[in-house]
Structure 1
Amino acid sequence: MKTKDLIFILIISLFWGASFLFMRVSAPVFGPVALVMIRMVAAAFILSFIFLSAANRTSLKQNWKAIAIVGLFNNVLPFVLLSFASTRLEAGFTSLINASTPVFAALIGLLWLKNRITRQQLAGLIIGVSGIYVLSIGHLSFKAGGSGWAIMAGLMATLCYGFAINLVKSRLQHVNSQVIAAGSVSFAALMLLGPGLWLWPSEPIGLIHWSNALLLGFLCTGVALLMFYHLVASAGVMASASITFLIPVSAILWGYVVLQEVITFKMIIAMAITFFGTALCNRLIKWPLFKKSAAVP
C-alpha cells in the first residue's frame, strides 16, 4: 500500500470517528434533524463541484430516483437516527453499534437480493450481531432515562446503511461513485430543509456548537467522502474496508480525550467480537473451520 493511501485511511478514520464526537456535543443543542440538515447542506456545498461536469449532470439526471432513495437511506435516516442516539449514548458506544453496518449489509443482501453466502460469512453474521448484544447488556432499558431507544435507533441506522449499500450494488453499479455521493448528499439536503427549519431550536446556539455542526458537514462528510472515493480508486475496496475497524477506535479515543468518556472492559470485548464477525463476513480473514467455504443455499 502506498504511504499516501495509508495516510488517507488514518485521516478518514479520524474524521469519521470525530463525527460521533461532534454529534454527541451538538445533537442535544440543535436537535437531531436540524443538525443533520446543516451537515447535509455543508457537505452538498463541498461536493457541488462534481456537477460542473456535463457528464456527471447527465448521469444524475438519468439515475436521480435511485440516487434520491440512497440519499434517504444512506444520509437522512441513519444520520438523524445516529444523532438521536448520540443524545443518549457516549460517542464510542454509538460508533461501536455503527461498526456492525457490514454485517447488516450482508444480512440484507441475503434476505433481499438472495445473495449466496458462505458458511464463514454466516458465522460472521452471527458473531457480529452477538457483539452488539454484549455491548447492549445492562443498557437495553426502555424506561424513562434508559438507553434502549437510543440503541434501537443506532441499530436502525445500520439497517438503513445496509439497505443503501445493497441498493447501490443492485441499481447503481454503472454510475460514477462520486456522482452517487454528491447526488445523494444533495437530495438529502433538500429533503431535510423543511423539517430542519421547522424543528429549529428556539434557544440561541453558541459558537462551539455551530463549529461542531459545520465541521461535521465540511470535514466529516464532504471532505471525508472525497478522500474515501479517491482511496477506493487508488487502493481498492479491501484497503478501504479497513476503515470500518478504525472508526470505533478513533471515536472511543476522541471521546476519551475530549469528553472524558470511560472506556469499559465490556466495550473492548464487544468491539473485538464485532470486529471479528465483520472480518469473517467480509472475508478479510479466513477461519480454518470453514476452509472449504461452502455456500449456504
Structure 2
Amino acid sequence: MYEKINIAEVSPRDGFQIIKQDIPTADKIHYLNQLADCGFAEIEVSSFVHPTAVPQLKDAQDVFREIKRNKNIVYRALIPNLRGLNRAIDVGVDKVKLMLSATDSHSLHNANAKTFDAMRDFEAIFEKALENNIKVGGSIAVSFGCAYEGPVPIERHLKICEEYNRIGINDISLADTTGMGNPYLVKEVISKLKEEFPHFKFSLHLHNTRGMAFANAVAGYEVGIRDFDSSIGGIGGCPYLPLAAGNISTEDLVHGFEEMGISTGVDLDKVIRIARQNEMDYPSYVNSFIMKAGPNKDLSIAPGKQIKKGDL
C-alpha cells in the first residue's frame, strides 16, 4: 500500500503573481472558495510583500478577511519580513512561509539581500509567529539550480538548513524555481538533507520549465517526500527570473500519482473544471498535459472499422 501525499495549492499566490491583467479581489475570493472544496491539505492564499514588488497581490489582507475558510485546510501566506508577519497576524493566517533563496544572486533579485543576510530576522519572525499560534515554514528557492550561478552545492543547502535548525524551523520547502532539476539530482539533494536533518519535514515546490516536474515529483516520493506544492493549470513563475515558467500543474500531479495508486485526497474532476476556467480567463498562462489530452479515464468511442486516408 502506497503512502498518501498531501498537496498545497499555490495558484492564488504563485500563479496570480505572474498574471499581468488585473484580477478583481472578488474574483480571487470566489476562486479560493472553489478551491476549498477540492480536498487540498493547504492553500497558499497570497503573499504579504510590498505592493510595488508584486502589484497583483496588493489585496492580500482583503482576500484573507473575506474567504470562507474550511477547518480542514491550512491557509498560508508567503512573507518576506516582520512587516509581512504583522499583516498576516492581523487577518488570522494559519501558517506563514518564509522567502529565501539558495544563492546570493537570486536572493539579491528576490529579497534585495544576500541569502544569510535575508535570514537575519527569521528568528524574531519565528518567535512572534509562535506567540500568535501561527505555524512557520521555511523555503529554499532555486534549490536544484540557479539561472545566475548554475548548480547549487550541497554544502550550501546544509549550511542553510543548519541555520533553520538553530532558529527552530524544521518544515522546509525545496523549490525548483528555475526548473533545472532532474530526478537524479532531486534524489541526491533530498537524501543528503534527510540524512543530516532526519527530524525535518521537507516538501517539494516544482516548476515545469523543461518538462521534468512530474519525474522530479516521483523521484522525491521515492526518497520520502509526501508534501508537494502545485498550481491549477500550471500557472505561475518567479517574477525575478529570466524565462520563468509555471509550476507543475495540479491536475497533472494528481492524475499522475493517482494513476500510480498513490492517493492525493484531491478531487481531479473539480480541479479540471477550475483549470478550464483558468484556461478561459488566462489563456496564455495555462499549461498542463491533462488540459491538452484529458485524464486516462476519458476514453474515446472505438471506430467500427479501420479508417484509411482514402476514406477521409
Which protein is richer in strand relative to its size?
2
TM-score, structure 2 normalization: 0.27
TM-score, structure 1 normalization: 0.28
Higher relative contact order (CA 8 A, sep 6+): 1
Larger radius of gyration: 2
